[in-house]
Amino acid sequence: MAIKQHEKILLTGAAGGLGKVLRESLKQNCTTLRLSDVVDFGAAAEGEEIMLADLADAAAVDAMVQGVDAIVHMGGKSLDGPFLPIMQANILGTYNLYEAARKFGVKRVVFASSNHVTGFYRQDETITADAPARPDGNYGLSKAFGEDLARYYFDRYGIETACVRIGSSFPEPRDRRMLATFLSYGDLHRLITACLTTPALGFSIIFGMSNNSVTWWDNSRARHVGYVPQDSSDVFREAVFARTPAPDFSDPAALHQGGAFVRMGPYEQ
Ligand code: 15L
C-alpha cells in the first residue's frame, strides 16, 4: 500500500509516549510532519515542523491546524484524574481542534480515543463498536465526548474521523489484562495508516488492538478501514502468566475491561 498520501499531517501530543513513537513512523505517511504539544520538546528534524499549542487556546489551535491536510490527534490528558484539567485539554481541546478543522478545510482526522469509553463492560463479554458507551471515569467520559463530537462534525460538515479506541500500546503487555488489550507499536502505525489511506472512512469507531487470541472487542463494524494486525500478545502470554498473580475476582479491576481505571476517583477539584 502506498502510504505517503498526504502532503502535511499534524500530529498532536507529539511529546507523549505514543506521540514519540508516531513521530518516527508517521514520517512515511507524508512529505512534512507537523508536530505539536503543549510542552517544548526540542527542535524539528528534517521533514518536520514544530508548533507548540495549548489545546484549550482556540487561537493557538487554529494556527496549529491551518495548512495541514490530515490530523492524528494524540494530544490531551491520557490518564484519569480530576475533571477540570481533563475538561480543558480533552473536551474544550478537541472542540477547538474540530472547529479549526472545519475552518481550514481539513477533511480527515484520526482521533486517539480509548478503551476507557467502554471500560465498564465486563471482561467476559465481547462488544462491537455499536455497544453504548460505558465510560469508566473522567478520562473515558472525555473520550466519549470526543467521539460524539467527531460524529457530529462528520454528519454536519463531512469531516471524516476514525475514533481509535486504543487498548494498551506499549512495547509489550505489562499484566494479564493487557494480553487482551495489547496494541503493538507496529500495529498502531498500521492501524493509523489504514485510517489515513482507506478511500471511504466516514465516521468509524475501531478498537486499537493487535491480533490477540483473547480479546473483548470485535472490529467487524470497521472492515472498511482495512486494518490487518500483524502482531499478537500471544507471544508474551507465558511470561506474563509466570510473573503475575492470578486475578482476585473480588476486585472490580479484575472484572471489567477498563482494569484499574474502574476504581479511580472520586477526585477533589
Ligand atoms: C489508556 O487510555 C491510557 O492512556 C494508557 O496509559 C493505558 O493505561 C491504557 O489506556 C490501558 O487501558 O491500558
Q: Which residues pair with 9 in a beta bridge?
A: 33, 70
Q: Is 123 in the pocket of ligand 1 (CB under 6 A)?
A: no
Residue with C-alpha cell 500483524? 230
Q: What is the pLDDT of residues 15-39, one digit of tens each?
A: 999 999 999 999 999 999 999 999 9
Q: Ligand 1 centre and the CA of 46: distance in Å?
A: 31
Between CA 19 and CA 21 the distance in angstroms is 5
Instruction: Give the SS3 label for residue 160.
Output: strand
Q: Is 168 in the pocket of ligand 1 (CB under 6 A)?
A: yes
What lies within 8 Å, CB to CB, of 185 at 6+ separation is 21, 25, 169, 171
Which pLDDT score, from 0 to 100, does residue 128 have?
Answer: 98
Between CA 240 and CA 238 the distance in angstroms is 6
Helices (H) and strands (E) counted in the chain, each on its own, are 9, 7
Ligand 1 pocket: which of 77, 78, 188 to mutate (most atoms within 8 A of CB): 78
Which pLDDT score, from 0 to 100, does residue 1 have?
Answer: 62
Residue 131 backbone zone (phi > 0: left; psi -120 to 50: alpha; other: beta): beta
Closest by CA position to 55, among listed 74, 85, 76: 76
Which pLDDT score, from 0 to 100, does residue 11 have?
Answer: 98
Q: Ligand 1 centre and the CA of 256: distance in Å?
A: 14
Give me the active site residues, please: 139
Q: Rg of the chain's alpha carbons, rounded to an integer?
A: 18
Residue with C-alpha cell 496549529? 64
Q: Is 113 in the pocket of ligand 1 (CB under 6 A)?
A: no
Ligand 1 pocket: which of 22, 79, 216 to mutate (most atoms within 8 A of CB): 79
- CB of 80 within 8 A of CB of 118? no
The C-alpha cell at 27 is: 514520517
Which pLDDT score, from 0 to 100, does residue 269 have?
Answer: 76
Question: Domain segments of the chain: what residues?
Answer: 6-263
Instruction: Give the SS3 label for residue 155.
Output: helix
Q: Is 233 in the pocket of ligand 1 (CB under 6 A)?
A: no
Which pLDDT score, from 0 to 100, does residue 221 have?
Answer: 97
Long-range CB contacts (within 8 A, 24+) of 251-254:
254/123
CATH code: domain 6-263 is 3.40.50.720
Q: Render each residue's pLDDT in the chain as its tens digit; 269 residues.
A: 678 899 999 999 999 999 999 999 999 999 999 999 999 999 999 999 999 999 999 999 999 999 999 999 999 999 999 999 999 999 999 999 999 999 999 999 999 999 999 999 999 999 999 999 999 999 999 999 999 999 999 999 999 999 999 999 999 999 999 999 999 999 999 999 999 999 999 999 999 999 999 999 999 999 999 999 999 999 999 999 999 999 999 999 999 999 999 999 999 97
Q: Is 115 in the pocket of ligand 1 (CB under 6 A)?
A: yes
**Which atom of ligand 1 is the closest one to the Cα of 166?**
2
